[in-house]
Amino acid sequence: GENVEQHPSTLSVQEGDSAVIKCTYSDSASNYFPWYKQELGKRPQLIIDIRSNVGEKKDQRIAVTLNKTAKHFSLHITETQPEDSAVYFCAASSPGGGNKLTFGTGTQLKVEL
Amino acid sequence: KAGVTQTPRYLIKTRGQQVTLSCSPISGHRSVSWYQQTPGQGLQFLFEYFSETQRNKGNFPGRFSGRQFSNSRSEMNVSTLELGDSALYLCASTLAGQETQYFGPGTRLLVL
């Protein structure tokens, strides 16, 4: 089955700096890659997603890039703010129909003042 | 629209008992997926229901089961609880034909 690896597990940046989180996946047939943000005690919330027919997608300070050949995708957050502090999860959809996401192990992002 | 809701929010059980968790999807969403979240294993897929049928299944033992009703509400059941079943159980709903999964707040289960 699909396996998703995520790095780093923790990331500390200064406010205003950029943060990059990287994920790799194993199944070349995977075609949907969402990123979720989970604040302490809250539900995961989708922040951005990308499909395999697109190489890059941007939404204000957040961008995701996908390299299908290398089977990796990355989340980029620019001009980080304290409210960006949370755990971020990448995921990949397993092929075969339906909605089954395989998640990475998460990155604890801390934005320091 | 109201978001995904889950009940109960917190639950304490003892080993050997069984538990039923409920998930109400966003109105109009017919797919409900369940995930187990633990500090050690992260977010793991349990199963997905669509139009009252199990469409996908993860690698969990048969003690974990689920069902979906005609109004798309879903329940999951865990029988013969073990200490390791302590976790946050999240459900997510998806509109048919779409891929975005919207998560509920979760049910935090503690097995003593």
pLDDT digits (tens, 9 = 90+) for B23-34: 999 999 999 999
What is the number of alpha carbons within 13 Å of residue B43 lying toward its C-beta? 31
Rounded average pLDDT over B54-66:
95
Amino acid identity at B78 = V
Burial classification of residue B22, based on how many CB atoms lie within 10 Å of its CB (0-12 exposed, 13-18 middle, 19 or more buried): middle
Q: Judge: B45–A102 Cβ closer than 8 Å, yes or no.
A: yes
| Angle of CA points B13, B110, B39, to nearest 5° | 155
pLDDT at position B1, please?
Answer: 74
Tokens (6 digits) for A60: 């204000």
- Give the separation between CA B91 and CA B23, rounded to whole angstroms: 6
pLDDT at position A59, please?
Answer: 95
pLDDT at position A78, please?
Answer: 98
Q: Judge: A106–B99 Cβ closer than 8 Å, yes or no.
A: no
Rounded average pLDDT over B49-78:
96
* Interface probe with A: pick from B26, B32, B45, most Cβ of A within 10 Å: B45
- Give the separation between CA B84 and CA B38, rounded to whole angstroms: 9
Q: Judge: B94–A99 Cβ closer than 8 Å, yes or no.
A: yes
For residue B4, pLDDT over 80 is answered with yes
Quick: pLDDT tens for A49-98: 999 888 999 999 999 999 999 999 999 999 999 999 999 999 999 777 67
pLDDT at position B34, please?
Answer: 98
pLDDT at position A54, please?
Answer: 87
pLDDT at position A109, please?
Answer: 98
pLDDT at position A66, please?
Answer: 97
Tokens (6 digits) for A23: 């994920």
Quick: pLDDT tens for A20-41: 999 999 999 999 999 999 999 9
- Alpha carbon separation from A15 to A21, A61, A106, A112, B63 (Å, rounded): 16, 13, 21, 6, 46
- With CA atoms as reference, the chain A residue closest to B40 would be A105
CA of A81 vs chain B CAs: smallest distance (Å): 24
- Give the separation between CA A19 and CA A85, rounded to whole angstroms: 11
CA of A45 vs chain B CAs: smallest distance (Å): 7
The C-alpha torsion from A99 through A102 and A103 to A104, rounded to 10°, is -150
Q: Judge: B101–A99 Cβ closer than 8 Å, yes or no.
A: yes
